[in-house]
Amino acid sequence: MSSVTTLTPPADTPIATDDSNASTPAPLPWPQASPQARQRHRVVIVGAGFAGVEVARNLTGSKAAARLDVVLVDRRNFSLFQPLLYQVATGLLSPANIAIPIRPLFRAHPHIRVLLDDAVGFDARAKLVQLRRCSLTYDTLIVASGSRHHYFGHPEWERFAPGLKTVEDAETIRSRIFSALEAAELATEPAAQQRYLTFVIAGGGPTSVELAGAVAEITRHAMRQEFRLIDPALARIVLIEAEIQVLGSFSSESSNEAARALQSLGVEVMLATRIVGVDAQGVTFANASGIGTVAAATVLWGAGVRASPLGAAVAEAVGQPLARGGRVSVSDCCTVPEHPEIFVLGDLAECTIAERTLPGVAQVAIQQGRYAARVILARAAGKRLPGPFRYQDRGSMATIGRRLAVADIGRWRLRGRVAWIAWLGLHLVKIMQWQNRLLVLVQWTWAYATWSRSARLITGVDAHGSPESGAANQTSAARADGTRGSGSGSPSRM
């Protein structure tokens, strides 16, 4: 057996594990031991985000599927519905509303096994996946471990400007937003008070736009009458985008409409402006007018993402260089060149179809997952394989606030109330379990009727509600628990 290509995780992605066995873990036995069982096609899926779960769900319900042994591996025991994660970060929803436990999804399918572990390396020649606690052999490998924040060569900025990829990120952001308002109520100096009441959102993509709109609604409406010494409605909310428009992947009409909607909520939109520094005092930016600063206690990051570190391990195992953003180049069949048994899906894949590189959005990951499952079932049944993957772009949506949204669906350009209702309906039906859909619908209805945000918990801060110390404490706790860099989600756009 050739040596395993392993990944050394960065300092912010530790995994709790039993250190008593420091050697390479032995292969984990598959459940069946009969000669017939050993001939079953073994599928290992790394990552329980949109793509990974979609593959597993489509490997059920047929005779061909019954001839498979499937293992779904993730470092979390839940799959996260990331498009609504910003609502957890702004106190509208609780994490349990959008986090779906993985095991119940496959309770009725005994050929699918779920493992709570972390992939750290691959041996393409031996067809082996190395996990923290064991290793797995495979006939087909699916790697769909998602993406993480990207600070463009400045990882030190993460301490002051958290991104939004995991439940812990959402809880960190939620605590910073609400503890900043509490700190402003305690502040005695006008300058300090204004700094606590200033919120900077880096980036102009859908997540940043949705965060900016939600913070505006919190300060202008949800909490306006709850303080005695400050008026939250006077909060300054600044969105900084390096490009010349927000929502750069949308049509110019929708992008301009989104900018107008943000401005109607009181958000300052700074375009063609780069962030060149982030620290405890705020941000430093550069644009055509020169260098400037914004003093802010709360900075939220949505300016860039990079593929999961597992991409580097896959690329090294198959002997190919990484593509841009740490992604793995795949063919139009979503497989690694010269390795048809290895699929790389979702954010992790650099997939070009008809001279168009597919975006890192949820609908791409879902469609790739369905396609990979079709290929696997065809192989298991000995049938003709499907043709190359074809992506069907079903449009893009982003919500800015109450009755404020934009949508590009084919040639249609929706905005305002119509786009907002379409956004609500689509995201509601995309949640996997009915009980979660019902919980989210009830929360949305109550919030619409009352402006209330019932999940406004502040966690991980000191008794004085200091955003800086609280964020540092929560980040340290998250790192100790191994909560960064999860493969349990795909990009948040539908």
pLDDT computed for residue 304 by the predictor: 84
Asked whether the CA dihedral 354, 359, 360, 366 is positive or negative, the reply is negative
Helices (H), 187-241: 190-196, 206-217
Q: Is residue 133 pLDDT above 80, yes or no?
A: yes
- What is the rounded distance in angstroms from the CA atom of residue 320 to the CA atom of residue 338? 10
Q: Which of 71-75, 168-172, 377-381, 468-472 is predicted least confidently? A: 468-472
Q: pLDDT tier at 431 (50, 70, 90 boundaries)?
A: very high
Q: Are 171 and 459 in contact (CB under 8 A)?
A: yes
Tokens standing for 117?
């572990």
Pick the catalytic residue from 54, 171, 182, 210: 210
Tokens standing for 298?
């709360």
Report the candidate in 124, 303, 145, 143 with the shortest Cα–Cα distance to residue 212.
303
Tokens standing for 182?
């509490």
Q: Are 386 and 378 in contact (CB under 8 A)?
A: yes
- What is the rounded distance in angstroms from the CA atom of residue 10 to the CA atom of residue 22? 18
- Report phi then psi at 118, rounded to 5: -125, 125
- Please give the C-alpha separations between residue 289 and each of 27, 202, 242, 272, 292, in angstroms, as whole numbers: 60, 19, 14, 10, 9
Q: Is residue 107 pLDDT above 90, yes or no?
A: yes
Task: State the average pLDDT over residues 165-172.
Answer: 96
Long-range contacts: 95-101, Cβ < 8 Å, 24+?
A: 95/167, 95/170, 95/171, 96/439, 97/436, 97/439, 97/440, 97/443, 98/431, 98/436, 98/440, 99/167, 100/431, 100/432, 100/433, 100/436, 101/77
For 3-55, what is each residue's pLDDT tens digit?
A: 455 554 443 333 333 444 445 566 766 654 444 555 789 999 999 999 999 99
> Can 257 be counted among the known catalytic residues?
no
Mean pLDDT of the chain: 88
- What is the rounded distance in angstroms from the CA atom of residue 431 to the CA atom of residue 436? 7
For 349-367, what is each residue's pLDDT tens digit?
A: 999 988 889 998 999 999 9
pLDDT computed for residue 20 by the predictor: 40
Q: Is residue 62 pLDDT above 90, yes or no?
A: no
Q: Is residue 439 pLDDT above 70, yes or no?
A: yes
- Please give the C-alpha separations between residue 121 and each of 94, 132, 315, 469, in angstroms, as whole numbers: 34, 9, 11, 36
Q: Is residue 252 pLDDT above 90, yes or no?
A: yes
Exposed (0-12), middle (13-18) or buried (19+): which is 256, by Cβ within 10 Å? middle
pLDDT computed for residue 61 by the predictor: 87
- What is the rounded distance in angstroms from the CA atom of residue 9 to the CA atom of residue 3? 18
Task: State the average pLDDT over residues 83-99.
Answer: 96
Q: Are 16 and 482 in contact (CB under 8 A)?
A: yes
- What is the rounded distance in angstroms from the CA atom of residue 8 to the CA atom of residue 83? 29
pLDDT computed for residue 35 by the predictor: 46
Q: Is residue 393 pLDDT above 50, yes or no?
A: yes
- What is the rounded distance in angstroms from the CA atom of residue 16 to the CA atom of residue 478? 11
Q: Is residue 280 pLDDT above 90, yes or no?
A: yes
pLDDT computed for residue 371 by the predictor: 97
DSSP character at residue 155: G
Report the candidate in 472, 397, 174, 476 with the shortest Cα–Cα distance to residue 300.
174
pLDDT computed for residue 75 by the predictor: 95
Rounded to the nearest angstrom, the gap between the alpha carbon of residue 215 and the centroid of all alpha carbons in its chain is 20
Q: Is residue 122 pLDDT above 50, yes or no?
A: yes
Q: Is residue 89 pLDDT above 90, yes or no?
A: yes
DSSP character at residue 232: G
Strands 99-101 and 112-116 turn out to be: unpaired
Residue 246 CB neighbour total at 10 angstroms: 28
Q: How many residues does the chain have?
A: 494
| Residue with token string 């436990």 | 101
Residue 31 CB neighbour total at 10 angstroms: 11
For 301-318, what is each residue's pLDDT tens digit?
A: 999 889 999 999 999 999
Rounded to the nearest angstrom, the gap between the alpha carbon of residue 5 and the centroid of all alpha carbons in its chain is 26
pLDDT computed for residue 66 by the predictor: 86
Instruction: Provide the percentage of residues in the chain whose pLDDT is more than 90.
Output: 78
- What is the rounded distance in angstroms from the CA atom of residue 118 to the CA atom of residue 481? 13
pLDDT computed for residue 319 by the predictor: 95
